[in-house]
């Protein structure tokens, strides 16, 4: 009887360890994406990659952090009554700051914190938002 109990307990511990390892591995496949909306209107971003799809919305003047899979996405963004689209790799913790409507962006930020002004969104290999 004691032998069967020890075997059953060992199996339960083994299954628990396996689940813990798989849950940690699954968490490593996601990354935070923060959208900071400094416009006077809502900002909407869609991200699509294969069967993965995100619809992200941030009200005017608000900031939201979303957890998304580490993938390269086709993105569409709506802000200030305009839209932009392109391909964007979301592989690291990233913050996108949507700047105020009208005028030009004060600067483009850094690769992990990009300032997005729809009319002159950054492009090129050093800027991940649109390339």
Instruction: Sketch the domain layout of the chain as residue ranges.
Output: 31-120
Domain 31-120 classified CATH 3.40.30?
no
Phi, psi of 22 (to 5 degrees): -70, -35
Using one digit for the tens of pLDDT, what is the confidence trace for 26-56? 557 999 999 999 999 999 999 999 999 999 9
Provide the pLDDT for residue 43. 94
Which pLDDT value is given to residue 99?
85
How many CB atoms lie under 10 A from the CB of residue 51?
5
The pLDDT tens digits of the residues spanning 66-124 come to: 999 999 999 999 998 888 888 888 988 889 888 888 766 666 555 556 666 665 554 54
Q: Are 83 and 76 in contact (CB under 8 A)?
A: yes
Helix (H, G, I), strand (E, B) or coil at 124: coil
Average pLDDT over residues 3-9: 67
Per-residue model confidence (pLDDT) at position 49: 94
- What pLDDT, on a 0 to 100 scale, did the predictor assign at position 118? 65
Bridge-partner residues for 43, per DSSP? 58
Predicted TM-score of the model (pTM): 0.66
- E-state strands within the chain: 30-37, 43-49, 52-58, 63-69, 71-79, 82-90, 94-98, 109-110, 113-116
pLDDT of residue 27: 53
Q: Torsions phi, psi of 18, nearest 5?
A: -65, -45
Judged against a pLDDT cut of 80, whether residue 3 lies above it is answered with: no
Pairing relationship of beta strands 109-110 and 113-116 according to DSSP bridges: antiparallel
Instruction: Single out the residue of 46, 57, 52 nearest to residue 85, CA to CA.
Output: 46
> Which residues, other chains included, contact 5 with Cβ-Cβ below 8 Å and sequence gap of 6+?
none
């Amino acid at each position: 009887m004691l032998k069967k109990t020890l075997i059953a307990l060992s199996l339960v511990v083994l299954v628990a360890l396996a689940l813990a390892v798989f849950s940690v591995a699954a968490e490593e496949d996601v990354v935070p994406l923060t959208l900071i909306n400094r416009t006077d209107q809502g900002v909407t971003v869609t991200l699509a990659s294969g069967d993965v799809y995100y619809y992200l919305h941030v009200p005017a003047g608000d900031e939201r952090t979303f957890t998304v899979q580490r993938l390269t996405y086709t993105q569409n963004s709506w802000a200030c009554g305009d839209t932009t689209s392109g391909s964007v790799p979301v592989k690291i913790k990233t913050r996108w700051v949507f700047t105020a409507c009208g005028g030009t962006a004060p600067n483009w930020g850094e690769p992990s914190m990009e300032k997005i002004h729809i009319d002159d969104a950054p492009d090129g290999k050093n800027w991940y938002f649109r390339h």
